[in-house]
Structures are given as C-alpha cells and as structure tokens.
Structure 1
Amino acid sequence: MSQRRQFTLNTDPHVAEIGETELLFQPEVMGDEFLDAYEDLQEAQKRLGVDVNNLAGTDPDKLRSVVRSLRLFLARLMLPESAAEFVRWEVIRDGKVVDSFGTPEEADEHAAQLKGATVKDVGMRLPDRVLVELLEWAVELYGGGRRPTGSSTDSAPVSPTPGTRGRAASRSKASTRTAGR
C-alpha cells in the first residue's frame, strides 16, 4: 500500500519583536545556508582566540569583534530590509554619508578609496543579552534547537543520581558480616 505525506513550507517570515521594532527573519532557510552562516560565526570567534563560554578577562576590542560577528550572523538570516536596519556601516566624507554597507569590511574598503573618509557603525544597538537570546532563537528556528557544531563544552550535563541518598545502613552490609572479623 502506498503512502502519501504532505509537507508544508513556511512562507510567513519569523518576527522578532524588540521594543517597537520588528525584525523579519527568513521563513525557511536551507540547511547549508544556516550551517555556512554558523560556521562563519565560529571561524570569526576562533580567529579572535575567544572562548565565548568564558569571556572573563577578554580584551574589549576582541569582545566588540565577537559581538559584530554575532550581528552579522543574525543579519544573514533576516530579510534584506531588516538586515539593513540591523547591521549597517556608513562611509562618511566631509560630514556627509557617501554610501552604506552591510559589512564593516565592505565599508572599510570603500572608505580607503576616498581621501578623508571614515566608517561609522549605525546598525541597531542592542544589549548583549538580547543578542544572545536572538542567537538561541535563530538556532532553534533553523538548526533544530541545538548548535550544529561546537566544542565538547556543549555536551549534556551529567544526569543526577535518581532518588535521594538515605542515612540508614545498608542491609546488605549488615548481613554480610562473617565471624572473626
């Protein structure tokens, strides 16, 4: 007997409400798109030599770069209009905006071609806790709820021993005494 199963694709964008702002995320992301973006995020963190599970004592410039890589990762999963609001670097010359770019590298490259031009990050500013929550939400949406790759620190914690430990002496201990001991 043959079987038939219908699969539905999401067509409505996922919406992240942050205050008065709504950021629209792609309704569906192909697995390799998500994995490529996630891999780029991990590579950026490795290049910086930063352990995101232990940021104590990390150089502030490296922390800024980690946050920037996280913002770029999230923007890759957004619809273009939201991504342009979320991450944007402007090239400024003589006090006027010359152009806007979606990555700091593109903006730096363009600014280098213009005498006296500077780059300014004018993307959406959010507290780190919100960025982390957005990351977790995106992983849940597109990655099946777990980080697709990662260090062994992402392993599940050890399960607690079932039940509670009693204070009574074990009967088996009491019953195994032998004469002469």
Structure 2
Amino acid sequence: MHTDLRVKHDIEARKKAAELFGKGRGYKSVAKELSMPRSTVRKWQQIWKAFGSEALLSMDGKQARYTYGQKVAAAKAVVEDGMSKGDAMASYGIMSLAPLDRWCRAYRDGGAEALRPKPKGRPKGSGAAARPLTREQQLERRVQQLEAEVAYLKNCGPWLEGEGEL
C-alpha cells in the first residue's frame, strides 16, 4: 500500500474532525481531543464550513490552480466589499486560506495587476548583441595575438635549440 507523503494527517483524523464539527464542536476542542495543532484543525474547520465533509475527506495534498479571474474576484470581494474570507472561500471555490491571504495582500499593494500570472522560466538575456569591431579594433586585436605568439616562441627558443642533442 502506497501512502501519500504530501498529506500530513491520515483520513481517520479528518473523518473524526468532520464528525465533531458536525456535532457543533469548535476547532479548539477538536484540536485538543485529537491532540493536533490548533492551526491545522482551524484550517480544516474553514474547509468543512465552506465545502462540507466531502472536501475535507478528499484532501490529497495537491495544489489547486486558480484562474486570474477567480483571484481578482475573491481578493476584491474581501478587500473592497468586506466579505469574510470564509465566505469568499465558499463563493469562489478556494480550498485554502493561504492563497486567499496572499492574493488580498497583493491586491492591496498593487491592485488587480499584481495578481497577473508571472512569466515562467529563466529570463532571456539582455538581448544586446556584440557590436561588430571596427577595422582599427580588428587590427589592434591581431597585433596583440601576434605579440603574444612572438613572446611564446622566444620563451620556447632554448628548448628548440636543444632538440638536436636529445
């Protein structure tokens, strides 16, 4: 049997939490009963309130992808219209509070444009191609090459003269 390492808590713990939420228990008492971190159980409670038990039990650890329109609409509803984050999660189908928090922060800082998708991959080079050398620069480079060649041959002179003795 293969276990999914992306999911930190097993399905049984989430089933028990959903059952307790259904009985009207709060996240603090559920966290205490299950001996789990409050923050985790609070996130589960938000998902349970927004989407029900099925969503809580079908969490698979994969990140959901959201369109630009969903991001803008959800962030605008929270920031400008005063909608609660839990209601926004339910209305726009957002399965986690973390991306909604990020979107709201970005929306406050830079508006809707801040939520546009960023280009993927390594950025292209500067694009400035090397300018062709002038005739004078070409000749200077050739002179430097020839001077280096002469200096090398001068240093090799003693070894070349001694060739006949080997």
Q: Which has the larger radius of gyration?
A: 2
The structure richer in strand per residue is 1
TM-score range, shorter chain: under 0.3
TM-score (norm 2): 0.24
